[in-house]
A = this chain, B = another copy of it.
Amino acid sequence: MYAFPTHTAASVTSGGSPSSYLPPILVFRLLSDDWLSVLSAKFTVISPSSPLSTSARAALVSAAYNRVDTDLLNQYPSLRCIVSSGAGVNHMNLEECQRRGVQVANVGETHSINVADYAVGLLLDVMRRITMSDQYVRNGLWVTQGDYPLGSKLGGKRVGIVGLGSIGSAIAKRLKAFGCQISYLSRKPKPNVNYKFIPNIYDLATESNILVVSCSLTKETHHIINEQVLQALGKEGIIINIARGAHIDETKLVQSLVKGEIRGAGLDVYEDEPNIPKELIEMENVVLTPHQAVFTPESMGEVIQICIANFEAFFAGKPLVTPVVAD
């Protein structure tokens, strides 16, 4: 995605006065080409293949591409601070980081707005058949075959939000403006929230026309959308996933769609990205996008600034600005 500059030990330590010293950070992946110059103004950027990498104390990782597991922590034993440019934490073994005294930050809140916007976009797209009718028009079928089959009205629909964190709350706020009836699942009822709390995923699915998955991926939420949940959602049900692929038992989802046991799906995430079950590719009642809900150019600038603030705090011996808090 970007070209690393060539570093030598000299380039890190040379430069004379202490004021020109730029602390080294190990960078696994930059999500924007601009980031290299922005980071290089404050830090010495080290690539994973550099001989200096094993002595780095701080690292930038990308949620979509890097697993922060025992292997990585063994390979770079000097790391004491890892900043993830993503929203989730399931790519990181937080217990192992804690055991080794590695501080962890991510930039979750920054992404919530983008993800929430995207979830509503996917939902409208599936319900009103925007993507499929665009293809119908582009293939000349409007002229030869007349109207495209209608989609469904969003207003008044019962939407179940799986996980009412910052993303789920932003989705609920938006869908409220469309006249939807919002219910949500979480470990316990949220204070100061008017939406209906439903403590069980099966009940939430039964009471909803639409399920939107927006929780963290943990052992408890892995495959939270399983065969029984899909059956509870039912034939007219629609499911939107902008969280992580493994929230849904993808094999069962595909079976449900093939059998017409649910109506449709809008998916931005998959269990084995970038591979997508081949059955989905031919379906007209799904919208399939490449794990892009989280990022926009506008948010990229915010994200890198938050990453920098965390690194600066770390090197100054202060608490991280946006530490990952186990919930």
Residue positions of A touching B, CB distance < 8 A: 1, 113-114, 117-118, 120-122, 124-125, 127-131, 133-138, 142-143, 146-148, 150-156, 173-174, 176-179, 273-276, 281, 287-290, 292-293, 295-300
Contacts and interface: CB of A to CB of B under 8 A. Distances in A.
A290 B151 contact: no
Given A124-B118, A124-B120, A130-B122, A153 B292 contact: no
Contacts of A295: 150
A125 B131 contact: yes
A130 B137 contact: no
Contacts of A133: 289-290, 292
A130 B275 contact: no
B177 A147 contact: no
A113 B176 CA distance: 13
Given A125-B125, A177-B174, A177-B176, A153 B113 contact: yes
Instruction: Specify how many copies of this chain sit in the oligomer.
Output: 2
Contacts of A129: 292
A150 B296 contact: yes
Contacts of A121: 121, 124-125, 127-128, 130
B117 A148 contact: no
A178 B118 CA distance: 11
Contacts of A179: 113
A28 B123 CA distance: 34
Given A142-B274, A147-B290, A124 B134 contact: no
A124 B117 contact: yes
Contacts of A152: 296-298
B296 A153 contact: yes
Nearest to A273: B142
A240 B229 CA distance: 37
A294 B117 CA distance: 22
Nearest to A274: B142
Contacts of A147: 290, 292
Task: Identify which of A154, A281, A295 gathers the most chain B CB atoms within 10 Å of its CB.
Answer: A154
Given A288-B138, A289-B137, A131 B131 contact: yes
A134 B174 contact: no
Given A114-B153, A125-B121, A143-B274, A292 B174 contact: no
Contact of A128 (B118, B154, B273): B118
Given A113-B155, A150-B295, A152-B297, A290 B136 contact: yes
Contact of A173 (B146, B177, B289, B299): B177
B153 A117 contact: yes
